[in-house]
Structures are given as C-alpha cells and as structure tokens.
Structure 1
Amino acid sequence: MTERTKSNLNLVMVAALICVTLAPAPTFAKTATQKQAGTAGQPTPIGKTYGKWRTYKVDDAGQPVCYMALTTGFAKSKKFKRSESHLLITQRPEEKSKDVVSYTAGYTYKPATDVLVQIGKQSFNMFTAKDTAWSRDAAADKALTAAIISTKIITITGTPGQKNTAPTHDRLDVTGANEAYHAINQACGLEASPAKKAVSKPQKAKKQGK
C-alpha cells in the first residue's frame, strides 16, 4: 500500500460515520468506527445535499480535509452479505493531494483483483486493498474525478473474496457530483466561493466635451 493510499485510508473509515450521523447506531458500532478513524475528527457538513452526495470537512491531525461522499445501499441476500458502499472524492490541500477517489464496496474484494469503473464510453481500473478500491496514481484520480462530475450514472464492477460469489455490478446515481465537487473545493480554499470572487468596478462615464 502506497503512502498516498495510507494518507487517505482514515477518510474512508470516517465515511462510515455518515451512517452514524444519518441513522441511530448501537454504541459499540459507533465506538469502533471512531477508533478506526484514527486521528481524524468528527466530520462537519459543508452545506446542503447535492443529489445523493453529502459534503464534509474534517480536521485530520491538524490539517483540513474536505470530501464528498455518496452512500449506496443494496438488497439483502442470504448467500452474499454486504453493507453499504461509499464513493469518496477527497481533497487534502496541505499535502497537495487532490481529487483522490476511493470506493468502499461493503464487502472484501478478492485479493489481487482490479475494480472496473465504467462511465459512458470511458473505463477506469482501480486496485483493491481489503474492502476498498483506489486509483493507481494522481493522473488516474484526476481523469476519474473529471468523468464522475460530468455524468449522472456510473457502473462499478468488483470481485468479492467470498467463494462462489459472482462479480458485483453497482450502478450508482452520481447526479449532483459537479456541485458537490465545487462545494468541497471552496471549503478547502481550492477555489473562491461566488461571494468572494472579484467583482469588476463599473467604469466612470467619460465627461463629454462642451
């Protein structure tokens, strides 16, 4: 696992707090999630919901981190158990880490398998580590983020580690991703908010000669 991946792993754990925030959870589950989150603090909502996306800002070891999260539930199955999935795009301005995409499937991936993300005619491969998929480098993250915020539906295909289980094909509605993306960028100072953008001053009318 690369240092780049490790630096964002805590945020994937913190994303689980979204479920705690939105719905009551047993005390033991909440405590376990907070321990997994490590040094990351409690996420604070940035603004409204954009489609199904929620936006958050969190203090991680004294550094501001902003991220957008899409949580998706799946039909229950007796043969294959999985929890909700979390698709995240994370900004860490202090580390100059931008547009980091991760997908926690809600189950453990089969070791040494890739995840395929299909967006229109574009396809992207992500490597897996336990229950989470990551882009391989910053360039791949940038391209994948650009595709996500420019569409409404994406499909993510993964291979479960559980024996005799077929690959999963998760169809996610990412409507509102573009608005959520700009919201987290503004919250982390990566772009000016509309209220702070410079407004050109009206030019004074030239005096007409007599």
Structure 2
Amino acid sequence: MLCALLPLGPAAAQRQPARKPAPAAEPGGPKALGRFESWTAATHEESGQTVCYAFTYATNSTPAIAGRPKAVLTVTERPTGRDAVAISAGFQYPTGAEVTAQLEQSALNFYTSGNSAFARESAVAVAALQKARQIVARSPNPRGGGQIVDTFSLRGFNQAYQAINKACPR
C-alpha cells in the first residue's frame, strides 16, 4: 500500500501552487529586538539613524471610551536624545493638560502635546520604571469631567530597556 502512495507524492506536490516568499522588511521599518513579558523592544531607521524603543500597552483603562485605541507607554533612545518616556493616549489632550503617573515609590509629571504626554524628567522616569511593577497614569478626560486612568505593567521593562541600550549604545 505504501508503494502505491509514493508515486502520488511528487505529482501532488507539483500541482500545488508555488508559495510566495515572505515580504521583505520595509527599508527603515521596525525591526524587533525581542519580547520581554509585557514589553517589546524594536528599532527603526529615521533620517538615516537608528532609533531604539521599548513599549507596552495599557493593561487597564477606565473609563472605557468607545473607539479609543489602547494607550501605549514608550521609552525611546535616539542619537539626539536619550530615555524619552512618553504615553500615547489614543485621544487628543486638551491644551496645557498635565498627566501624572504613580509608581510604588514615586510620582512622575508629564507635559502634553497632541495625543502624547512626555515625562518632564526622563532620567528620573526611567530610574523609577526600573524599580516598579506598574505605573498608573491619570489624565484629563477628553470628553470633560473626571480623569482617564491607564495602568501599565512594568514586567519585562528592565530586559527591554537593556535590549534597546545594547542596540543603541550611548
């Protein structure tokens, strides 16, 4: 019986359409460095220079806003600036809005521009992120009244941070 099936193998394979190769990575597009628990580390090219970044999505956001994408916490290393800590809220912050973030042992202040909030003291922010388990960011509700609370896990942050600093050394 096995002998009867062998002749079908090559013939059947020849009738299969050829598989297309995986698309090549877009020049300058993101290149993954690794996944570290809740965090992902990656690089991309920007104006001919490598930019390294680590990011995580909010594990919880309240209140829920229909159509709002998940908030993202990012740490970025550029040749022109190190340890930029930002939160992309998924909505436009009101002009002049402030965002505060609470960690186990410290609090951080962020200024806003568009739909992003940036840590006022980047080095202090990174040091705090390295010591904590989570960060809870509070921002004004774009619909008025109350606050939006985004919670981010810091599990894997230290490993992701090491990966981006290895890829983009000082």
What TM-score, normalized to structure 1? 0.63
Distance in 2 of aligned mates of 1:103 and 1:78: 17
The 5 A counterparts of 1:36-185 are: 41-47=28-34, 49-72=35-58, 80-93=66-79, 95=80, 97-136=81-120, 140-164=121-145, 166-185=146-165
Task: Write 1 or 2 for the structure with the bigger share of strand.
Answer: 2
Contact 2:52 2:167 in 1 (8 A): yes
Identity of aligned residues (%): 26
Deviation at 1:80, TM superposition (A): 4.9
Distance in 2 of aligned mates of 1:183 and 1:50: 10
Structure 2 partner of 1:187 = 167
Amino acid at match of 1:148: L
Task: Write 1 or 2 for the structure with the bigger share of helix.
Answer: 1
Number of matched pairs: 144
Q: Secondary structure at the match of 2:131?
A: coil
Deviation at 1:103, TM superposition (A): 0.4
Deviation at 1:171, TM superposition (A): 1.6
Let me know the Cα RMSD of the aligned residues: 2.1
Deviations along 1:73-116, one digit per CA (max 9) or x if unpaired, are 657978654211111100013x2x11000100112222211000
Distance in 1 of aligned mates of 2:105 and 2:152: 16
Amino acid at match of 1:186: K
Distance in 2 of aligned mates of 1:78 and 1:55: 27
Unpaired stretches in structure 2, ≥5 consecutive residues: 1-26
Q: Structure 1 residues 87, 75: CA separation in 2 closer, same or farther (over 3 Å shift)?
A: closer
Distance in 2 of aligned mates of 1:163 and 1:143: 31
The structure with the largest alpha-carbon Rg is: 2
What TM-score, normalized to structure 2? 0.77
Deviation at 1:153, TM superposition (A): 1.0
Distance in 1 of aligned mates of 2:61 and 2:72: 16
